[in-house]
C-alpha cells in the first residue's frame, strides 16, 4: 500500500470501526431475547424503539466516551510520568471519586445526579490534594513527588471509604456503594451523557491536538526546555485535560479499572512509541473496548455484570498475554 493511501485509510478505519461497533451494539442485549434483536423490530415494536433510543443509545455512547477517555488519559499520563505502568486515576482521582460517591450515598441521597456530582467533586479534590502535597514535599523531583503524593492521597481516601462502608446501612446503602465501586453504566440516561460529553469532547480535542507535543513532555525537563517547550504550562494543560475526562467518566460509571493501562499498551504495540501515532489509535481502540465490555456486561447474564469486573478481567488477561509474549518489553 502506498503512503498517501495509508494516510487516508488509517484515520478512516480508526473513526469507522467504533461507529460500526456502536451501530451493532444497539441491537445487542436481552430484549426481546438474549443477545440479538432483529433490527426490523424497530419498525413495529414501540418498546424496542424506546429501549434502543432512550436506554441503549445513551448508554452505549457513554461506554464509548468512557473507553476513549480512560485510554487517552492513560496514554497521556504514561508519557507525562515517563512510566508505562501508570493508570489515569492514580493521582488520588479514582479513590477520591469512590469516597465522594460513598459519602453521598451514606449521608445524602442515592440519586444518580447527586452521586455523580459528589464523585466528580472529590475526584478533583483528590488531584488538588496530590498536587498541593507534592508542592510542599521536600524530596526528589517533581514527578516523583506527584506520584508519592498521589499514593498518600489515595490511601487517605480509601481509608475514608472504609469508614463509610462500615457506617453504611448494610441493607441498602452498602450494596449501593459496592455496586458503584465495581463500576457500571446501568444508570446512564441522556442526562448523564450530556453531563459527561462536553468535558470529554473538550479533553479529547486538547489531547489529540497536542499529541506530538507529548513526546517532548516525556523528555527530561532540561532537554524539553532546550527544545523550546514551556514544560510546566504544557504539562499542566495535558494533565488537566486527562484528569478532567477521567473524573467525569468515573463519576458516572464508578471505578472502571485497567482500560487506561492496557489500551495505550496495545496501541503502542501497533504504532510504536510516537504519541502522534499511538494516541489516535488508543482513543479508537478505547472506544471499541468500552462498548464491547459494556455489551458483555449487559448481555452475559440476566442481571447486570458490573462493568469494572469485565474490564479488569479482560484487561488482566490481555496484559498477561502481552507480557509473556517474547517480544514484549516493559520499561519503567
Partner 1 sequence: MSERSLLTINELTFAYDSTRASALNKVSFEIDAGTITTILGPNGAGKTTLLHLLLGLRKPSGGSILLEDLPLNQYSRRDLSQWMGLVPQSEHVSFEYTVLEYVLLGRAPYLSPLELPGEADVEIARDAMRKVGIASLEHRPIPELSGGELQLVLLARALAQQPRILLLDEPTSHLDLANRNVTLRILDALRKEGTTILFTTHDPEAALIVADNIVLMNAGKVLAAGSFSETFTSEKLTETYGVPVEVVRTDGIQVVKSSGRLS
Q: Is 36 helix (H, G, I), strand (E, B) or coil?
A: strand
Q: Which is nearer to partner 1, 84 or 126 (CB)?
A: 84
Q: Does 228 bind partner 1 (CB under 8 A)?
A: yes
User: Residues 22, 30, 45, 83: which binds partner 1 (CB under 8 A)?
Assistant: 83
Q: Does 274 bind partner 1 (CB under 8 A)?
A: yes
Beta bridge partners of 29: 35
User: Residues 58, 67, 84, 112: which binds partner 1 (CB under 8 A)?
Assistant: 84
Minimum distance of partner 1 from residue 191's CB (angstroms): 33
Q: Does 92 bind partner 1 (CB under 8 A)?
A: no
Tell which residue, 104, 143, 106, 146, has the closest CA to residue 126: 146
User: Residues 54, 172, 226, 236: which binds partner 1 (CB under 8 A)?
Assistant: 226
Distance of alpha carbon 288 from alpha carbon 286, whole angstroms? 5
Minimum distance of partner 1 from residue 8's CB (angstroms): 16
- Residues 155-194 binding partner 1 (CB under 8 A) are none
Q: Which is nearer to partner 1, 45 or 234 (CB)?
A: 234
Q: Which is nearer to partner 1, 240 or 272 (CB)?
A: 272
Q: Which is nearer to partner 1, 59 or 211 (CB)?
A: 211
311 and 256 Cβ atoms separated by less than 8 Å: yes
Distance of alpha carbon 300 from alpha carbon 152, whole angstroms? 38
Q: Which is nearer to partner 1, 145 or 213 (CB)?
A: 213
Residue appearing with cell numbers 459519602: 103
Calculate the CA 319 to chain-centre distance: 17
Distance of alpha carbon 135 from alpha carbon 2, whole angstroms? 50
Span from 21-29, 169-177, 188-196, 324-332 in contact with partner 1 (CB under 8 A): 324-332
Q: Does 17 bind partner 1 (CB under 8 A)?
A: no
How many residues lie near partner 1 (CB under 8 A)? 31
Distance of alpha carbon 287 from alpha carbon 70, whole angstroms? 9
Minimum distance of partner 1 from residue 274's CB (angstroms): 5
Span from 14-22, 40-48, 166-174, 207-215 in contact with partner 1 (CB under 8 A): 207-215
Q: Does 145 bind partner 1 (CB under 8 A)?
A: no
Residues 6+ apart with CB under 8 A from 246: 69, 70, 73, 88, 89, 93, 94, 123, 260
Span from 97-105, 150-158, 209-217, 279-287 in contact with partner 1 (CB under 8 A): 209-217
Q: Does 49 bind partner 1 (CB under 8 A)?
A: no
DSSP output for 71-109: HHHHHHHHHHTT-TT--TTTTTHHHHHHHHHHHHHHHT-
Minimum distance of partner 1 from residue 236's CB (angstroms): 13
Q: Does 223 bind partner 1 (CB under 8 A)?
A: yes
Angle between helices 93-107 and 112-136 (to 10 degrees): 140
- Report whether the peptide linkage leading into residue 293 is cis, meaning its omega lies within 30 degrees of zero: no
CB atoms within 10 A of CB 300: 14
Q: Does 96 bind partner 1 (CB under 8 A)?
A: no
Q: Does 212 bind partner 1 (CB under 8 A)?
A: yes
Distance of alpha carbon 64 from alpha carbon 158, whole angstroms? 28
Contact footprint for partner 1 (CB under 8 A): 79, 82-84, 209-210, 212-213, 215-216, 218-223, 225-230, 234, 268, 272-274, 276, 329, 331-332
Amino acid at each position: 500500500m502506498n503512503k498517501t493511501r495509508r494516510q487516508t485509510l488509517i484515520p478512516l478505519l480508526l473513526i469507522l470501526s467504533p461507529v460500526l461497533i456502536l451501530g451493532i451494539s444497539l441491537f445487542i442485549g436481552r430484549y426481546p431475547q438474549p443477545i440479538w434483536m432483529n433490527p426490523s423490530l424497530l419498525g413495529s415494536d414501540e418498546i424496542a424503539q424506546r429501549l434502543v433510543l432512550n436506554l441503549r443509545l445513551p448508554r452505549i455512547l457513554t461506554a464509548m466516551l468512557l473507553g476513549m477517555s480512560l485510554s487517552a488519559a492513560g496514554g497521556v499520563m504514561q508519557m507525562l510520568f515517563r512510566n508505562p505502568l501508570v493508570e489515569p486515576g492514580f493521582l488520588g482521582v479514582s479513590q477520591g471519586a469512590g469516597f465522594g460517591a460513598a459519602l453521598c450515598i451514606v449521608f445524602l441521597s442515592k440519586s444518580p445526579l447527586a452521586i455523580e456530582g459528589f464523585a466528580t467533586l472529590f475526584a478533583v479534590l483528590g488531584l488538588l490534594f496530590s498536587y498541593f502535597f507534592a508542592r510542599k514535599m521536600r524530596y526528589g523531583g517533581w514527578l516523583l513527588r506527584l506520584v508519592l503524593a498521589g499514593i498518600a492521597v489515595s490511601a487517605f481516601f480509601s481509608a475514608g471509604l472504609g469508614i463509610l462502608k462500615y457506617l453504611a446501612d448494610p441493607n441498602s446503602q452498602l450494596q449501593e456503594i459496592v455496586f458503584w465501586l465495581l463500576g457500571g453504566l446501568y444508570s446512564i440516561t441522556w442526562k448523564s451523557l450530556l453531563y459527561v460529553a462536553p468535558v470529554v469532547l473538550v479533553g479529547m480535542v486538547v489531547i489529540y491536538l497536542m499529541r506530538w507535543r507529548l513526546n517532548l513532555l516525556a523528555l527530561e525537563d532540561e532537554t524539553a526546555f532546550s527544545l523550546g517547550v514551556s514544560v510546566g504550562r504544557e504539562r499542566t494543560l495535558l494533565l488537566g485535560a486527562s484528569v478532567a475526562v477521567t473524573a467525569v467518566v468515573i463519576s458516572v460509571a464508578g471505578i472502571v479499572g485497567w482500560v487506561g493501562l492496557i489500551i495505550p499498551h496495545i496501541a503502542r504495540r501497533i504504532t510504536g512509541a510516537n504519541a502522534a501515532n499511538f494516541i489516535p489509535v488508543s482513543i479508537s481502540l478505547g472506544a471499541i473496548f468500552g462498548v464491547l465490555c459494556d455489551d458483555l456486561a449487559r448481555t452475559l447474564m440476566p442481571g447486570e455484570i458490573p462493568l469494572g469486573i469485565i474490564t479488569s478481567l479482560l484487561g488482566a488477561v490481555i496484559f498477561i498475554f502481552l507480557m509473556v509474549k517474547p517480544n514484549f518489553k516493559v520499561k519503567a
